[in-house]
Amino acid sequence: MSRPTVVSWIAALTVGVILGLARIGAFEAPELALYDAWIRASSREEQAGDPRIVVIELREQDLGELGHWPVSDRVLGEALIRLSKSEAAAIGIDWYRDLPVPPGEAVLERALRADPRIVGVRKFGDARTGGVGGPPVLEQAGRVGFNDFPMDDRDETIRRGLLYQDDGVHEVETSFSLRLALLALSASGSRPRPDPSNPDWLRLGPTTLAPLSSRFGGYAGVDVAGYQYLIDYARSDFPTFTFGELLRGEIAPAVLRDAVVLLGSNAESLPDLWPTPLGTKPGVDLHAHQVDQLLRYASGRSRPLRSPSAPAAAALTMLFTIIGCLVVSGVGPTSGSTPKRLAAGLGLGLGLLGGGGFAFFSGWWIPLVPPLLGAIAGSGATAFWIANRERTDRAQLMGLFSRHVAPAVADELWAQRAEFTDGGRPLAQRLEATVLFVDMVGSTAHAEKLDPVALMEWTNRFMEAMAREVEHARGVVDDYFGDGLKATFGVPIARTSREDIAADARRAADCALAMADALDALNRANAGAGLPTTAVRIGIDSGTVVAGCLGSSQRLKYTVMGDVVVTAARLEQTREVEHDFEKQPCRILVSERTLAIVGPLPGAESIGLIAARGRTEPIGVYRLSRTARLPATEKEESRL
């Protein structure tokens, strides 16, 4: 299959798997972890214009001074009388007080009746627990709110608040924090009202609080019974005083003026601690956060967090998965190593993560784990497929050029494969190249003297020595035949400049001379081992060839064809040039065309014109001796 088709399949399968996992809640935990991190990053200290919220805590030291728990009705009544004398906008008591705690019942009752700003708490409860009622006086006056928190089952963290809830039997009840917020707003004449577009939704000032959906943001089917919303924890802390400071009159009146004052516990022996994105907080602090948030909504200084719809979130996952696949598949055919492709996918994922954080601070909770995984998984799968395909293509490409290719040539072939291959198979093309044929002289006679195994080993040593010189000269051995081979210089990458074409021809000539040296060394080794020595014929021609693959799809061979190949073969085979193979075991014949490209070479002897079988015109031929070597520096460079 083509790359675009495979990439499309990878993207489609990745998206399908990720959306399926998201549907069953597999990513809810990391989504909530990201949400908590952004909440912590966005939380800030109190700033000018923030709603005035003051927390008064009963701490362990206060209990020591009082000498008992619960706080008696007299002490609590005296504390409330002090608060009533302040100009607080609302006063909330986050203590259960459904039963009297003598002495002082009358004192507390008078304090509760006298000040309409005081709100008490009750526990909504359920069919199992039955709940806890509020102070009877406040229950009668309708100044009680429930203080229950919906908790995320996955990690038992408080991220959501409640405005209303209904157990299906009683009237719909209002939360403690909402009652306090409404009291504070009533002082300025602000009243809650239904949203114009949906009367079932609450509107505070310019802000509509839509009930939380079960799949809002990173949630995956959370229980949203009642009227829920996300607590934004925008304030890191609130002005806090102790219960003892209140009783002793040590809290300045200016601190309490126009503030919502919450009275609660934060003593080690009275645990009322709850896990939140900001860490463990006492319950009274959670109510303070909610009141603060509702008052900011009513003033228009904040707005509820928004989240894309489920189809939009799925589209985002699909988009970034496709982008991840395309980024990796589009790195390029010559520069896309696997680490580079994976780095591109990782960079896309990190960019998405940063964009998600920016969106959160702009008021959007966008589920990031599915698109993030889509980008990373899509790019990773694409990179793996491309790398695997490239390993296959490289193996096929290197197989076509045999193992007798210098590492530098192999790297160059792979780096520039786009120029001469299509789908891993070399394209047929016209090239300017130099072809060299080398063959043993009199191998038939040797075959009669050696047993088959020894003959094969003797021949292979010769082939190995000759092929090694081709490799050193950066040529390509594209064919073996009997006791000889064919090498081509200038393939498969097209040479376009005269200098490059000439360099290929010089390398072929130098390779032939190096073969003569290699033959001498081989003959000495064979003679020392009692084996036959041999001589060789070499023919070289240069010009235009057609290069490409021959064979079936299962068995391909890269080769070159044309008049140059025929001419080089005829030069190697010709008997029209007399040569004493006893004195000079290597005969090198070079065509006039090659010499014209290479230029004058010392020791190149003109033979003149010879007739070659299969050609209508004679060939101008030169015999190359070892005095025609290239300068040493050029020769060494040609072997790199």
pLDDT reported for residue 489: 94
Considering the domain architecture, whether residues 512 and 618 belong to the same structural domain is answered as yes
Can you say whether residue 478 is alpha, beta or left, with left for phi > 0 and alpha for psi between -120 and 50 degrees? alpha
Model pLDDT for residues 573-624, shown as the tens digit of each residue: 998 898 999 899 999 999 999 999 988 887 789 999 988 776 778 889 999 9
Separation of CA 192 from chain center = 47
Residue 265's pLDDT is: 96
| Residue 365: strand, helix, or coil | coil
What does each C-alpha distance from 135 to 101, 131, 181, 349, 491 come to in angstroms? 11, 13, 20, 54, 96
Residue 547 belongs to some domain of the structure: yes
Distances from the Cα of 54 to the Cα of 242, 252, 584, angstroms: 11, 12, 109
Is residue 263 located within the same domain as residue 328?
no
At which residue do the structure tokens 């580079």 appear?
Answer: 340
DSSP designation for 220: S
Cα 50 to its chain centre, rounded Å, is 41
Tell whether 137 and 258 lie within a shared domain.
yes
Task: Report the alpha-carbon distance of residue 24 to residue 27 in Å, rounded.
Answer: 8
Give the pLDDT score at 6: 83
The token pair at 8 is 């499309």
| Token pair in block for residue 602 | 């010392």
Q: Which residue has the tokens 């602090």?
A: 285
State whether 120 and 266 are in the same domain.
Answer: yes
Residues 169 and 242 in one domain: yes
Among 381, 400, 419, give the residue marking a domain's end: 400
Same domain, 368 and 233: no
Instruction: Give the strand order in the sheet containing 207-209.
Output: 193-194, 202-204, 207-209
Residue 461 is assigned to a structural domain of this protein: yes
Closest CA to 370 of 127, 20, 638, 3: 20
- Total number of domains in the chain: 3
Instruction: Please indicate, yes or no, whether residues 155 and 114 belong to a single structural domain of this protein.
Output: yes
Looking at the fold, whether 177 and 264 belong to one and the same domain comes out as yes
Out of 273, 299, 325, pick the residue that ends a domain.
Answer: 299
- The list of the chain residues with pLDDT below 70 reads 1, 126-129, 167-170, 330-342, 344-345, 393-427, 444, 447, 551-556, 614, 627-640
Structure-block tokens of residue 218: 């990173």
Asked if 368 contacts 353 with a C-beta cutoff of 8 angstroms, the reply is yes
Residue 540 within any structural domain of the chain: yes
For position 512, which CATH number holds? Answer: 3.30.70.1230
Q: 3-state secondary structure string, 161-180? A: EEEEECCCCCCCEEEHHHHH
Q: Which residues contact 628 (CB under 8 A, 6 or more apart)?
A: 509, 513, 601, 602, 603, 604
Q: Which residues pair with 241 in a beta bridge?
A: 56
Report how far residue 226's alpha carbon sits from residue 194's, in angstroms, rounded to the nearest whole number: 17
Residues 507 and 474 in one domain: yes
pLDDT of the residue at 356: 85
What residues make up the domain containing 564? 408-638
Same domain, 221 and 280: yes
In a domain, 305, yes or no: no
Q: Are residues 134 and 251 in the same domain?
A: yes
Q: Is 301 left (phi over 0), alpha (psi -120 to 50) or beta?
A: alpha
User: In this structure, are 465 and 521 located in the same domain?
Assistant: yes
What sign does the CA torsion over 271, 274, 279, 282 have?
A: negative
Which residue among 365, 400, 435 closes a domain?
400
* Residue 304, in any domain of the structure: no
Write the DSSP string, 40-65.
HHH-B---TTS--EEEEEE-HHHHHH
Decide if 198 is inside a domain.
Answer: yes
Tell me: the pLDDT tens digits for 316-356? Answer: 999 988 888 887 776 444 344 556 666 766 777 788 888 88
Determine, yes or no, domain membership for 594. Answer: yes
